[in-house]
Amino acid sequence: MPVEGQRWTTLAELRDGHGNWIKEDAGFLGIGTEPSFAIGQRALLVPWRGSNLMWECVSLLDDETAAEVERRGGLSGIAISHPHYYSSVAEWAQRFDCPVHLHADDADWVMRPDERIVHWQGEAHELGEGLTLVRCGGHFTGGQVLHCAPQNALLSGDIVQVIPDRAWVSFMYSYPNLIPLGADAIRRIVAALEPYEFERIVGAWWGRVVPSDGKAIVRRSAERYLRAIGGEGL
């Protein structure tokens, strides 16, 4: 967050001086904006239904990006971990005429309602072909991750945060203000992920990848975290 606070812009202004790059990242195709914009996350294209599911979202959508995504199979759907990455999801959904899968617990955070937005309820939502949305909570009640069985991967956004030491992950209630997540929320994340096997954890920024032993790393990281905040273990 800049010292002077947030400054709002428009999609037209963003297109003037920014562009998107599509490149491989962690076995998926990533879409990221340069120069870096806002918190600098990148989206991922996950093969699905003969097309792609876009995981997370970037604010910039222009004709060049749309054409490149179409060349790679287009989009059959979009899913986003939590409201910090909603950005221009309405424009993306309209451009590709595809549904957006968000958890109902975060519905109040959708600032631009659209008929393509699907608010699912419950703890897990099977998308088919080995893709499952799992509600973990975290710094948003409806925070969801994407389990990708074919890739043996967990796409975690920053609900399960990949940190510089890839032998560990971490969790936060507020990243800008460095407020830790409470013990109950940590236990909930671990319990939500327990039914799923995954080796890799893929975060929300370029190169943020735990390459192996992901599930065990989540568990031992949660144990360490709980000890650090003075709580009991899992």
Q: Give the tens place of pLDDT for each residue, 143-165.
A: 999 999 999 999 999 999 999 99
C-alpha 141, offset from chain centre? 14
pLDDT at site 2: 75
Residue 232 — pLDDT band, cuts 50, 70, 90? confident
pLDDT at site 18: 97
| Closest listed residue to residue 22, CA positions, set 63, 62, 69, 76 | 69
> What are the residues whose beta carbons fall under 8 Å from the beta carbon of 124, sequence distance 6 or more?
132, 133, 134, 135
pLDDT at site 167: 97
State the average pLDDT for the chain: 96
Find the range with the poorest average confidence among 36-40, 96-100, 160-164: 36-40
> What are the residues whose beta carbons fall under 8 Å from the beta carbon of 191, sequence distance 6 or more?
none
| 98-114 residues labelled b (16+ CB within 10 A) or e (exposed) | bbbbbbebbeeebeeee
> What are the residues whose beta carbons fall under 8 Å from the beta carbon of 220, sequence distance 6 or more?
168
Residue 181 backbone zone (phi > 0: left; psi -120 to 50: alpha; other: beta):
beta
Question: Is 54's pLDDT higher than 90?
Answer: yes
Percent of the chain at pLDDT exceeding 70: 100
pLDDT at site 234: 79
The structural domains of the chain, ordered by start, are: 11-228 (3.60.15.10)
Environment class of 154 (CB within 10 Å of its CB; exposed 0-12, middle 13-18, buried 19+): buried
190-231 pLDDT, tens digit per residue, is 999 999 999 999 999 999 999 999 999 999 999 999 999 987
Task: Record the pTM.
Answer: 0.96
